[in-house]
Amino acid sequence: MPTEQEPIKVEIPVEEEEVVMRPERQPFSVRQRGREHLSGCVHRVTGSARAALQSERRRQARRAVKGGVRRGLDLSQRGAVRGLRWMSNRLADVADHFTPLEKNTES
C-alpha cells in the first residue's frame, strides 16, 4: 500500500534589517579637513615622484641600460654579418657545384 508523505515545511526566519540614517552632508569643517588632507597627500606623492625622476641614481640606471642596449645591438649586428658571410660562402659553393666548367677557347 502506498504511504502518504507529509510535505516538508521549511521555515526561514526573517530578520529585519536595521536602518541607519546618515546625514546627507557632512559639516563644512570635516569636508574642508578632508580636502586639505587629500591635497597634502597629493603634494607629497608628486614631490616624491618628481624627486625620483630627477635623482642621480635613476640617471645612472638609465645610462647603464642604454649602454647595455648598445652593446647588445653591436653584438647582434656582428652576429648577423657573420651569418650573412657564412651563407654567402655556402651559396657560392652551391653555385660552383652547379655551374658548368668553362672550356678554354685558346686551345
Helix (H, G, I), strand (E, B) or coil at 19: coil
pLDDT in tens, 5-36: 788 887 877 777 666 666 666 556 777 788 88
In a domain, 73, yes or no: yes
Helix (H, G, I), strand (E, B) or coil at 26: coil
pLDDT in tens, 58-98: 889 888 888 888 888 888 899 999 999 999 999 999 998 88
Q: What is the pLDDT of residue 72?
A: 86
Grid coordinates of 26 = 557632512
pTM: 0.35
In a domain, 10, yes or no: no
Domain that holds residue 52: 39-98
Q: Which has more pLDDT, 1 or 54? A: 54
Grid coordinates of 3 = 504511504
Q: Which has more pLDDT, 107 or 47? A: 47
> Burial letters for 23-47: b for 16+ Cβ neighbours within 10 Å, e otherwise?
eeeeeeeeeeeeeeeeeeeeeeeee
In a domain, 88, yes or no: yes
Domain count, the chain: 1
